[in-house]
Structures are given as C-alpha cells and as structure tokens.
Amino acid sequence: GHRSRLARDQSGGFGSTLYAKEELVAEMASAFTCASLGIVPTVRHSDYIGSWLAVLREDERAIFKAASAASKAADYLLGMEGAAA
C-alpha cells in the first residue's frame, strides 16, 4: 500500500477505521496470494473480526473496495515473483 507501490492511505493509527480497512485489505491480499501459490495459510481472523465488522457495517461497499485493493496487492506481489525468477 506504500505510495511508491499501490498508494493506499496508510495514515490511520492502530484501532482507527482506516487501520481496520487496511487490515481487511491485507488479509484478503494474503488469502488471494496464498491461493495463487498453493500455500495453506495460518488463520488468525478472530484477532481482527471486530474491527472488520465495524468497517463493513459503516460502508455497504467496503467489502468490494477491500477486495479490489487486495486483488491489486496480490497481483503486485505475484508480479514480483515472476520478476525474481
């Protein structure tokens, strides 16, 4: 999400709505990337579910926004894999 890569807003402090949105994007990107690479991840969703629910209740389109940002992040990471080969 850094501005030199995907330019997502990283200004939210721990516990803020903005931070929760970024956590959701990161978790979804991790899931997409692991699925593409055939990796079975360690799941710790319960640590974050409360903040995610608050985000989803606040914005009915939040899941779609997060999925779009996560897809871009996964594509970025998977593109790096090909570049390293």
- What is the rounded distance in angstroms from the CA atom of residue 45 to the CA atom of residue 5? 26
Give the pLDDT score at 67: 92
Give the pLDDT score at 5: 63
The structure tokens listed for 69 are: 């940002």
Give the pLDDT score at 4: 60
* Element housing 72 (H / E): helix 62-84
Give the pLDDT score at 48: 77
pLDDT along the chain (85 residues), means of 10: 63 78 84 86 76 89 91 86 56
The structure tokens listed for 82 are: 């090909």
